[in-house]
Structure 1
Amino acid sequence: MTLVYEGMLQHARELLAVRGPLDAELIVSRILGAWWGRRVVEGDVEEVVGDGLVRYAAGAGTPAALALLTGIGYLGTPRQAAEAERAALDLMARGVARPAWADRLGTVMPEECFVSGDVYGDHESIVCTFSYGGPRRHALVVLVDRTKAEPVGAGGRTPRGTVPAYGMVRDAWVSSRVERLLAQCRAESRDRPLMRFEPLDPADTRAMLHRALEHTNATVNPPVGENFASYHAFLRARVRALPPGGRAPQPVPHGGDRRATLAARFLASDEAEGLSDLSAAGRCVDRIIDYGCAQDFGRPLRVSPLKAEMFLLDWLPRKVLLSPAEQEAVPHVLASWVRWAARQTGLPDEGVRATLDAVWDATARFAAAYRDPAAAGLDRALVDRLLPDGDLEALPRRAFALPFLSGRHRLSGRHGVVDLGALDPSAPADRRILLEFEHPGADQEHLDAHERLAARLWDGDPPELWETAQALLDVGFERHDVLHRLIGAFERAGDDPDALRDALGVLRHEPPPG
């Protein structure tokens, strides 16, 4: 790491040439962003690399090192900031020259906050203006994506049943032409009926951006802009500079009763009157509501062209096993839902028409995109056993955990007096019997380990487990070896989810066998 730190310290020499605190902050943010998003075997990369940089700069004792430490004292993590401030004070006491902009660093004052985006709510640009107490202002623009609430948390995912943060930060940038930027946003909202530009409460903006940034930080390989890492530390500091005490938008985690009521209201509406197969329509609308609650931040009534396409062409083909009647009905049910939900939310007519156009444009592609395992030659009864919850995405990992699709492992026949075809692999007791069948003569401890792993793979918890299994299979490991490597990762991690994430990350980078 010494060469890396030396390169960063050379980059920090630019700090000696700048006059203003904004340029200095952006340079330090770019330096700190050099390792953002990277992974290390143990610990947090910001702390492992960042703390080491602070110590290296403290030891260098040069004016560039002091300038870098001064910037880290404002832009770093709390621990880095404290260590950098102590090191900076020590260097100043030794007579190292302090940069001219240092006194103004950290004196930034928040002014106004705005939201710019379409009426659908797919993406929003949050604009926050700041100054250092004088007439010169700068604007921070943050792109927040609200289209797909992929679970997050330990290892990048949220515990089952929780609602993730209300959006993800996808990009950020800074402008010193504040008035021009605001004028362009106002003109766009005035000239385009489906665009809006509205003021936001700065405290609420802080709460919302904090949650959205946490979502980004917790996601493995987040889909951020090419230069996002360079602005990450700056963005984090500017969010802290906004006033505290606000509330982020609260998504509605519709429970079972509320979902049922919503579905019943729709099916009784004028918009649903023309649906011919009400039984299939009821099952389809349940899927639409499920998608809105789980994948759209608890917003089942929000409709947009992009959301309609993602539902038909991405989520349904990956996640849901539909009957032929449901496959036929779902585009028509979705179109009726768009009309009904738009009436509930007040979406402009232009937005309704655009969303309906997207539904019909996607309908033909939906028929081609939708995958029915039975159509691929898999036995329908077998598929039903492996997918009692209809979670189509779970099929490959469950077939890997309990490989009963071919040969002697097929989910049929007898094991002693037990009819394997009558067993339910989703039931722990039956799953244990199936594992005993696969591992004849194994001792209790060995079977217990396989049972714990099979349960985790069945539930997809954590998602990195199946991702790691696929990575090992791709480079040539046999299934038996993969299972035992995964079991070893669990044994090393114990009950610590972060340790498990790190152990799985190490496994994914194992060289091919032989």
Structure 2
Amino acid sequence: MRGRRRRDPRETQTPDDVFAEMLLAARELLAVRSPLDAELMVSDMLGAWWGRRLRGGDVEQILGEGLVDYAAKAGTPAALTLLISVAYLGTARQAAKAEGAALALMESDVARPRWADRVGTVKPAGCYVSRDIYGDQDTVVCTFAYNGEDTHALVVVVDYNMRGMARDAWVSSQVDKLLEQARLEAAVNPMLRFEEIEPQQARALMEFAMKATRDSLSRDRRNAPRLVSDGYSAYHAFARSRIKALPPGRKRPAPPHSEAPYSRDRRAMLAAEFLASDAAENLSDPSAASRCADHIIDYGCDQDLGRPLRVSPVKCETFLLDWLPRMVMLRPAEQEAMPHALAAWVRFAGPRTGLPEQGIRATLDAVWEATARFTEAYRDPATFGLDPALVERLLPDGDLSALARRAFAFPLLQGVHGSIILDTLNPADEGDRRILLEIDHADERDRPDFDEHLAWHEEIAARLWEGDPPQMWEAAQRLLDLGHERHEVLHLLIEIAERMGDHPDELAAALADIADIPDETSP
């Protein structure tokens, strides 16, 4: 039995209800004594909807700009202080609207606190970075002050195991203590480095990291809560504004151990060099080791900002226990060989990037500790009761993450239909694909528009096969979760694709809206 889900009371609120609560909370702004406290409070308010998605529009426009309009109409001192802060902390559109509304209220002699004139008048004092020798993470520290007063530090943590995204941010007023602690940690820990960097370099690094966070959340909204810290949303607007206070003019600094882009030929040469090295001489199955090396190199190039030679305990664990089980179908021999090949790769790559022996040993320890869990975490499709030959037909490219959506697109792959042996048809082949879809829709042959309708099914099946756009499979899963039958889901996808026409961005957005439909049920 599936019952109705209990609604969060906030889901029944209108935007005006939310704005009224925020304006009530904004009264506290009248009591604070420093612009720093006010900016942090408003940043926390704006973070209430950061990273969320609303059906029918952009959340920053509907809620962010809506809050500005609501405050402008309220015309109270609390509303004015809120508008002054949003003019500095908001998006470009929010800031422009808030500034205009604040000026209008000030011309009407609405009272404002003395600190209001100092909002945003910060100057950078110094920028620093603390980084581990593996290249896993940078902690960027930028200090600011209001005309020499209220000195504070913005701290942003950049995670290179997550494509260089910003995963945490906070603010500290104990600047001297923070910097001294970072220096002491680097002095006693040979695996850490702490150094001062140019403000332009810090800005470029943090701008790239925050953009990487936005991109990651847009790709994986379901897992958004675990991608960033609990406090990141509260400091997001503040961090964005402080970054703009730093001087521009530098390209993003290359992450540690990065090199020129790896072409397909260069990847093959690196694999050959590894297999011929002393580090790989004890690998007993050269064929399996070669395929394992290809996966290791591809992961470093495609998922680690073009750094196949960078190794670390965290990177190796993420590769073994997260990426491989989700993305790659390994044959049994490759599953057996992978931990040994990865350990050999650590011994091969570590010295080439200058990783000290202590770091190499720690990384090897992490590989061996993860090996038992890798055996459990790696899900061979054969363990699902699927015929290996069937899996080969669905995954000719070895992309394990595609298994579910391809099986959804082509459920009839075994048995006999009339004189056709389904086991001989290849869903990756355009001609065989049409035959499979004709059999799947045999009960619709009497439709006058059958050929046109089948062409749309071919379009949807091709998109599901390729995962293009990824929002299509997300929408299909959501509709299935809501109780729709498979064929009904396909027809809904066709309806959306037909309505959007040749506009890929609009198609992706429409499908994303479907994927975000609130669930009315619970187990």
- TM-score, L = length of structure 2: 0.89
Amino acid at match of 2:426: D
Identify unmatched segments of 5+ residues in structure 2.
1-14
CA 507–176 in structure 1, closer or farther in 2 if over 3 Å, else same: closer
**1:361-412 residue CA offsets vs partner (Å, 9 max, x unmatched):** 1112222222222243322221111000001111111000111xxxxx2345
SS in 2 for 1:35: coil
Give the corresponding residue for 1:47: 61
2:416 aligned to 409, 413, 417, which one? 413
Amino acid at match of 2:239: L
Give the corresponding residue for 2:235: 231
Verify the 8 A CA contact 2:35 2:119 in the aligned structure 1. yes
Give the corresponding residue for 1:161: none
Give the corresponding residue for 1:242: 246
- Cα shift at 1:317: 1.8
Q: How far apart in 2 are the matches of 1:511 and 1:7?
A: 26
Deviates more, 1:435-444 or 1:345-354: 435-444
Q: How far apart in 2 are the matches of 1:139 and 1:325?
A: 52
Give the corresponding residue for 1:87: 101
1:254 matched to 2:262: yes
- Cα shift at 1:237: 0.5
Paired residues in the alignment total 490
Q: How far apart in 1 are the matches of 2:324 and 2:370?
A: 12
1:438 matched to 2:435: no
Amino acid at match of 1:205: A
- Cα shift at 1:506: 3.3
Q: How far apart in 1 are the matches of 2:519 and 2:85?
A: 40
- Cα shift at 1:85: 1.0
SS in 2 for 1:113: strand
CA 502–9 in structure 1, closer or farther in 2 if over 3 Å, else same: farther
Verify the 8 A CA contact 2:48 2:234 in the aligned structure 1. yes
Verify the 8 A CA contact 2:471 2:511 in the aligned structure 1. no
SS in 1 for 2:307: coil
Q: How far apart in 2 are the matches of 1:179 and 1:244?
A: 26
Verify the 8 A CA contact 1:305 1:359 in the aligned structure 2. yes
- Cα shift at 1:486: 2.1
1:394 matched to 2:402: yes
SS in 2 for 1:279: helix
Q: How far apart in 1 are the matches of 2:59 and 2:516?
A: 18
Verify the 8 A CA contact 1:113 1:129 in the aligned structure 2. yes
Give the corresponding residue for 1:291: 299
- Cα shift at 1:499: 5.3
CA 231–299 in structure 1, closer or farther in 2 if over 3 Å, else same: same
Q: How far apart in 2 are the matches of 1:67 and 1:293?
A: 48
Q: How far apart in 2 are the matches of 1:173 and 1:352?
A: 32
Identify unmatched segments of 5+ residues in structure 1.
150-166, 404-408
Verify the 8 A CA contact 1:401 1:454 in the aligned structure 2. yes
Give the corresponding residue for 1:162: none
**1:169-221 residue CA offsets vs partner (Å, 9 max, x unmatched):** 11111001101000000111111111221222221221221121122223143
What is the alpha-carbon root mean square deviation over aligned residues?
A: 1.9
Give the corresponding residue for 1:341: 349
CA 460–478 in structure 1, closer or farther in 2 if over 3 Å, else same: same
Verify the 8 A CA contact 2:130 2:138 in the aligned structure 1. yes
SS in 2 for 1:95: coil
1:419-430 pair list within 5 angstroms: 419-430=421-432
SS in 2 for 1:289: helix
- Cα shift at 1:496: 4.4
- Cα shift at 1:130: 0.9
Q: How far apart in 2 are the matches of 1:507 and 1:315?
A: 23
1:379 aligned to 375, 380, 387, which one? 387
SS in 1 for 2:71: helix
SS in 1 for 2:279: coil
1:52-67 pair list within 5 angstroms: 52-67=66-81
SS in 1 for 2:129: strand
Verify the 8 A CA contact 2:274 2:348 in the aligned structure 1. yes
Give the corresponding residue for 2:457: 450
Give the corresponding residue for 2:204: 207
Give the corresponding residue for 2:147: 133
